[in-house]
Amino acid sequence: MASSAIETDGQEILDLEKNRQAEKAQWVLNAPEPPSLWRELMDSARETVLPRGKRFPYLKDKDGLFKISVLQAMFPIFSWCRHYNATKLRNDLLAGLTLASLCIPQSIGYATLAKLDPQYGLCKFHN
């Protein structure tokens, strides 16, 4: 009696695995077309100017605040630069120096491995 229950459970597990594999195969075979680059760009711009959940939030603003709100949506630096302080500047400077101290020797080393002059590695680091 116990062996028949185990066999039934084993059969159910096999059926579930077959169903999952068939479902995965359908997704692979019938995959939707990816959006074009133009569609992604337009969707991104639309999401920036008109965030979901907030339809036309800028229409309530008066006296030129509409333009400021649009600029803040398109250029996030306008939003967070008011809260930027010396501590954050110090941390960002330290992070930049750390990254430069690692990347400059690495780029020179890769140029040397490629049998190029070291200045080519520095040019690549800059780009």
Q: Show the 3-state SS of the chain.
A: CHHHHHHHHHHHHHHHHHHHHHHHHHHHHCCCCCCCHHHHHHHHHHHHHCCCCCCCHHHHCCCCHHHHHHHHHHCCHHHHHHHCCHHHHHHHHHHHHHHHHHHHHHHHHHHHHCCCCHHHHHHHHHC
Q: How many CB atoms lie within 10 A of CB 121?
A: 22
* Token pair recorded at residue 127: 């780009």
User: Is 63 within the bounds of a domain?
Assistant: no
Task: Answer yes or no: is 78 within a domain.
Answer: no
Inside any domain, residue 98:
yes
Q: Would you state the pLDDT for residue 75?
A: 83
Is residue 80, in this structure, part of any structural domain at all?
A: no
pLDDT, tens only, 74-123: 888 877 888 888 899 999 999 999 999 998 899 899 999 999 888 888 87
User: What is the number of structural domains in the chain?
Assistant: 1
Report if residue 107 sits inside a domain.
yes
Do residues 111 and 118 touch, judged by C-beta distance below 8 A? yes
pTM of the model: 0.40
What confidence score (pLDDT) does residue 113 get? 92
| 102 in a structural domain | yes
Q: Residue 91 sits in which domain range? A: 85-127
Does any domain span residue 29?
A: no
pLDDT at 99: 92
